[in-house]
């Protein structure tokens, strides 16, 4: 059933008795259940066929009626004055002319108030507003219509009568514009204004004057046709406009829903990655431990493959997570002081072994003109360079891979730093270059088989470079090699500024043995792994499985450091940290709490610090990073200059 078909029915049902007729006047004639013939619905009606929309449409039509009427509220006054002057009626019948003027003034004032206050009055009671509007429109119409019999009786058929009739036909023509929003009001108005002229001329006049009545009938018929046409146009426009509004609204809602879905997808991926990383942490870490024990060659080989597979899986998870986060606009680029040479070193070091095994030479070129410290996102830069250099090693044999950083230019303390990753490997064909930066895209179908990979690395790198304000450009020739380049603008950090005061006193070779650590971890495999790693450094570990047990243990015993998992049942790591900090308030002590989490999200470190933790470690636990981090937080009284061997 149609929305517009219901328009009339609902309107009718809202009013009773005589008002029913009035209400019918408000809307186009519609056969119940069908679209009105004249309304060209240019778009399919939406599903929003509730009465609210019909009321809204009627409201819009009434508003337009009010707007148009307001402009001609006092039009009858100058017309009356002119007619009186031309016909001399102001002298022969001054009282009648005055009565007309006073009446038109009163009606004009009332109509002005009524239409100007439309919003308020109509909102209060739309039916009452329309009823009053009809009264204020039909009142003057009756007076206008009655003017013809009055003039005829007073002066007979002649010049005066013709002048009056001319002004009435003018008024009638003008009403096609001002009243066409409501056809029945318009029709009633026309009949009341012109009807008395037709009757007077047809029944009381004679001869030529009688024939005039036919002209008025013709005129009446013409304005009716025109009025109906304007009425149709008005309603089709109104309905189409309303449909557009509804569609725009539903599009907006759909857009909000889509954005929410993307957010939910991002959160889902983050949670999933957390869930997958946790057991992976166990697999990789424990494999590492077993690899260090007595094994025969075959066992060592098998386990090495298990470790490589685990690490590959971890890379894929990280890439998928990163990509979906970039897609959802969830990556924030940090701006912190960092050393470019360190980032290059961190990029190249892990690649040395695989480069050598493929008889490749790895070269790092660092321009001496580059400042020692720059401000930017070192982690993301490392991620981009690692991906590009990793690919360069992967696709090159017996060649050279060069990672180069140079100063392209500078303006004040802003440096344009150019980074190139060049190889002399297999190169990329022109056709593949077109799609190489798309997600999940590889040069050809055999790439995964021969070299592995997901085809996400370049897509992520390109987006990350763009987020940092640069553009990743590729120059490649098949069988000759490839160069990936980008330029980033980064601020130089003066040496004085870059020297930060450490939070606690640090020692370069702190004593880890003898430390007493509270390990809060719900996953038993991860707990076992962390305990083993810590025990290897002669660290005592007390293990609890959730936040509330941690708070309890903390109140009973004293610990040097707390390693706190974040996502745990019963009480999570954040709440536990806050409770521990509350408990410590009176004691004047602050035990270092290090977050231990599989969440590798941007801003998560900051969140941990915000929640009262002191540092942040991601799983899978890297033994070296674990040792380094712990050594930062060794209590001053336990610091002894003694080299560590873990
Ligand atoms: P992945 O390496 O995981 O497949 P990437 O997005 O990093 O995904 O790379 C996409 C594809 O681009 C690779 O599969 C490879 O076909 C091609 N490619 C990238 N870097 C190089 C390179 N240095 N030399 C040759 N081909 C490359």
Structural domain boundaries in the chain: 12-251, 269-327, 336-498, 509-638
Q: So what's the pLDDT on residue 534?
A: 87
Better-scored residue on pLDDT, 189 or 25: 189
Helix (H) or strand (E) holding 131, with range, is helix 126-155
Most ligand 1 atoms within 8 A of CB, residue of 326, 387, 436 to mutate = 436
Nearest to 123 by CA among 66, 68, 46: 66
The CB of 620 under 6 Å from ligand 1? The reply is no
pLDDT tens figures, 359-383: 999 999 999 999 989 999 988 999 8
Residues 571, 548: contact at Cβ < 8 Å? yes
Which of 91-105, 115-129, 437-451 has the lowest average pLDDT?
A: 437-451
Most ligand 1 atoms within 8 A of CB, residue of 443, 474, 482 to mutate = 443
| Residue 326 CA to ligand 1 centre (angstroms) | 19
Q: Band of the pLDDT at 310, cuts 50, 70, 90?
A: confident
Q: Band of the pLDDT at 628, cuts 50, 70, 90?
A: confident
Q: Band of the pLDDT at 25, cuts 50, 70, 90?
A: very low
Q: Is 474 helix (H, G, I), strand (E, B) or coil?
A: strand
Residue nearest to atom 2 of ligand 1 (CA): 453
Residue 145, token pair as written in the block:
């219509």
Q: So what's the pLDDT on residue 455?
A: 76
Nearest to 68 by CA among 19, 24, 115: 115
309/384 Cα distance (integer angstroms): 22
Q: Which residues pair with 415 in a beta bridge?
A: 410, 490
The CB of 456 under 6 Å from ligand 1? The reply is yes
Residues 273, 321: contact at Cβ < 8 Å? yes
The CB of 460 under 6 Å from ligand 1? The reply is no
- The answer on pLDDT for 209 being more than 50 is yes
Domains 336-498 and 509-638 equal at CATH topology level: no
> Is 509-638 a domain of CATH 3.30.365.10?
no
Q: Band of the pLDDT at 446, cuts 50, 70, 90?
A: low
Q: Band of the pLDDT at 273, cuts 50, 70, 90?
A: confident
Q: So what's the pLDDT on residue 20?
A: 34
Residue nearest to atom 19 of ligand 1 (CA): 391
The CB of 393 under 6 Å from ligand 1? The reply is no
260/269 Cα distance (integer angstroms): 14
| Residue 443 CA to ligand 1 centre (angstroms) | 7
Helix residue ranges per DSSP H, 340-445: 340-348, 352-357, 378-394, 430-435
Average pLDDT over residues 539-558: 89
- The answer on pLDDT for 205 being more than 50 is yes
Q: Is 517 helix (H, G, I), strand (E, B) or coil?
A: strand
pLDDT tens figures, 121-172: 988 999 899 999 999 999 999 999 999 999 888 888 788 888 898 999 999 9
Q: What is the dihedral of CA 243, 246, 248, 254, to 10 degrees?
A: -130
- The answer on pLDDT for 402 being more than 60 is yes
Average pLDDT over residues 587-602: 77
| Residue 343 CA to ligand 1 centre (angstroms) | 22
> Is 336-498 a domain of CATH 3.30.565.10?
yes
Atom of ligand 1 nearest to the CA of 456: 6
394/485 Cα distance (integer angstroms): 18
Which of 89-103, 422-436, 617-631 has the lowest average pLDDT?
A: 617-631
The CB of 455 under 6 Å from ligand 1? The reply is yes
The CB of 457 under 6 Å from ligand 1? The reply is yes
Q: Band of the pLDDT at 468, cuts 50, 70, 90?
A: very high
Those residues whose C-beta lies under 8 Å from the C-beta of residue 356, and which sit 6 or more positions away, are none
The CB of 458 under 6 Å from ligand 1? The reply is yes
Average pLDDT of the chain, as a whole number: 82
């Amino acid at each position: 059933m149609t929305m517009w078909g219901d328009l009339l029915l609902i309107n009718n049902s809202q009013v009773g008795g005589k008002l029913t007729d009035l209400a019918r006047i408000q809307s186009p004639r519609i056969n119940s259940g069908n679209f009105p013939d004249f309304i060209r619905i240019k778009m399919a009606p939406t599903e929003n066929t509730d009465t609210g929309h019909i009321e809204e449409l009627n409201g819009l039509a009434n508003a337009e009626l009010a707007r148009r009427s307001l402009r001609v509220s006092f039009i009858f006054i100058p017309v009356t004055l002119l007619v009186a002057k031309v016909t001399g009626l102001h002298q022969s019948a001054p009282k009648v002319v005055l009565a007309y003027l006073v009446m038109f003034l009163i009606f004009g004032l009332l109509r002005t108030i009524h239409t100007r206050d439309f919003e308020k009055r109509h909102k209060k009671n739309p039916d009452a507003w329309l009823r009053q509007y009809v009264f204020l429109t039909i009142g003057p119409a009756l007076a206008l219509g009655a003017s013809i019999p009055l003039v005829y009786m007073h002066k007979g058929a002649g010049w005066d009568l013709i002048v009056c009739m001319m002004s009435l036909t003018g008024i009638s023509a003008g009403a096609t514009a001002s009243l066409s929003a409501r056809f029945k009001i318009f029709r009633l108005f026309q009949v009341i204004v012109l009807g008395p002229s037709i009757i007077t001329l047809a029944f009381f006049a004679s001869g030529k004057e009688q024939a005039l009545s036919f002209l008025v009938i013709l005129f009446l018929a013409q304005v009716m046709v025109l009025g109906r046409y304007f009425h149709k146009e008005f309603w089709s426009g109104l309905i189409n406009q309303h449909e557009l509004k509804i569609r725009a609204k539903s599009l907006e809602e759909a857009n909000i829903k889509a954005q929410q879905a993307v957010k939910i997808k991002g959160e889902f991926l983050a949670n999933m990655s957390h869930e997958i990383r946790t057991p992976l942490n166990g697999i990789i870490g424990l494999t590492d431990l077993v690899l260090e024990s007595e094994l025969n060659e075959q066992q060592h080989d098998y386990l090495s493959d298990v470790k490589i597979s685990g690490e590959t899986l971890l890379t894929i998870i990280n890439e998928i997570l990163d990509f979906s986060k970039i897609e959802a606009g969830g990556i924030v680029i940090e701006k912190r002081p960092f050393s470019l040479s360190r980032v290059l070193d961190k990029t190249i070091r892990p690649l040395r072994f695989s480069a050598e095994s493929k008889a490749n030479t790895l070269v790092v070129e660092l321009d001496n003109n580059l400042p020692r410290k720059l401000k930017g996102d070192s982690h993301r830069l490392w991620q981009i360079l690692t991906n590009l250099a990793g690919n360069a090693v992967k696709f090159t044999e017996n060649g050279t891979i060069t990672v180069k950083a140079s100063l392209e230019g500078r303006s004040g303390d802003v440096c344009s730093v150019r980074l190139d990753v060049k190889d002399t490997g297999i190169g990329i064909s022109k056709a593949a270059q077109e799609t190489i930066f798309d997600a999940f895209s590889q040069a050809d179908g055999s790439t995964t088989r021969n070299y592995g990979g997901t085809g996400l690395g370049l897509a992520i790198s390109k987006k990350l470079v763009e987020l940092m304000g640069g553009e990743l450009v590729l120059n490649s020739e098949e069988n000759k090699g490839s160069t990936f380049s980008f330029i980033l603008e980064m601020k130089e950090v003066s040496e004085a500024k870059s020297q930060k005061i450490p939070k606690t006193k640090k020692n370069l070779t702190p004593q880890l043995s003898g430390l007493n650590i509270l390990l809060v971890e719900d996953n038993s495999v991860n707990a076992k792994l962390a305990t083993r790693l810590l025990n290897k450094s002669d660290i005592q570990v007390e293990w609890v499985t959730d936040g509330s047990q941690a708070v309890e243990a903390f109140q009973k015993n004293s610990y040097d450091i707390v390693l706190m998992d974040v996502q745990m049942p019963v009480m999570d790591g954040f709440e536990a940290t806050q409770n521990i900090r509350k408990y410590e308030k009176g004691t004047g002590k602050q035990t270092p709490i290090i977050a231990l989490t599989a969440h590798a999200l941007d801003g998560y470190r900051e969140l941990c610090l915000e929640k009262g933790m002191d540092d942040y470690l991601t799983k899978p636990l890297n033994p070296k990073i674990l040792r380094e981090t712990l050594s930062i937080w060794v209590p001053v009284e336990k610091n002894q200059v003694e080299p560590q061997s873990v």
